[in-house]
Structure 1
């Protein structure tokens, strides 16, 4: 009974908020309740969500050094997904892995690599700060003040 209620809650309230055509097609045809629940849970787990970032949960904090140089080693790319030819923009996990191995994981089921895009934000913040400092130095050298 709990599984039935859980399935109803997921399918009636949660999934419609996040559903895409591919998610509907992926899970709706499954008749077995356990498999449908797993499909829905897997789909919901793949959705973007807030991440815990509280200092109380962390240790050994170190500011990312040379962030700008590291970021310039990555490439933002337009691409199409092979599964449905849907156009998208992102990075390639194998490229990210060469610079930030801690931001790439391998999916246990598919063995495909996944990028922790949210983790790139901290690096981008530090890269912007490096650019700002460089910009301020150049302004000072040129005698410009704003």
Structure 2
């Protein structure tokens, strides 16, 4: 029988309760875990993970802003693909259609986001790609603001010329 303190009401505030064997799991530090083991040992059938990483400024040295991301990502391709599960059956790839990037392309512009697995094949740190996306959005916002200011100036000049 599960402790009542480990039960959580659903988001719709109904009387439906979802039992959780533990409120929070802390794997601590920078470590790698087999999702298969996590699924079997903790989550039973489905994986619903939020990933948290140490990001406190106290942990960081040599801090520099990420700049000029738009020009860096211009030649990166976002793709859909199927894994070659027949050729790489040892990799336990999903059979469903995937969205992603090509590690070799990422490695050319952001080598810190790519590493080799135990077999020497390339892997991409998709969670850190979100930092690249965030910076790209900021840079686009800045370009949009500058473009809007220029458009306003040009519209005023056109109005003056009409008079």
After TM superposition, the score normalised by the length of structure 2 is 0.59
Residues 24-49 of structure 1: CA deviation (Å, up to 9, x unaligned): xxxxxxxxxxxxxxxxxxxxxxx773
Flag structure 1 segments of 5+ consecutive residues without an equivalent. 1-8, 20-46
Map of 2:62 onto structure 1: 60
- Partner SS state of residue 94, structure 1: helix
Segments of 4+ in structure 1 off by > 4 A?
Answer: none
Q: 1:81 to 1:92 in 2, by over 3 A?
A: same
Q: Are residue 16 (structure 1) and residue 50 (structure 2) matched?
A: no
The count of corresponding residues between Structure 1 and Structure 2 is 109
**Structure 1 partner of 2:103:** 93
Query: What SS is found at the alignment partner of 1:69?
Result: helix
More RCO (CA 8 Å, sep 6+): 1
1:115 aligns with 2:124: yes
- Give the distance between the partners of 1:125 and 1:52, measured in 2 at CA: 18
Instruction: Kindly indicate which of the two structures has a greater share of residues assigned to helix.
Output: 1
Stretches of structure 2 that go unaligned for 5 or more consecutive residues are: 1-37, 86-93, 154-163
How far, CA to CA, are the matches of 2:102 and 2:50 in structure 1?
18
Per the normalisation by structure 1, the TM-score is: 0.65
1:42-70 per-residue CA deviation (whole Å, 9 max, x = no partner) reads xxxxx773222221211111111111111
Residues 1:115 and 1:12: Cα distance change in structure 2 (over 3 Å)? closer
Please tell me the root mean square deviation across aligned C-alpha atoms, in Å: 2.6
1-structure distance, mates of 2:84, 2:146: 46
Pairwise mapping of residues 1-146 of structure 1 onto structure 2 (< 5 A)?
11=40, 13-18=42-47, 49-83=51-85, 85-108=95-118, 110-143=119-152
* 99-108 vs 122-131, which moves further: 122-131
Larger Rg: 2
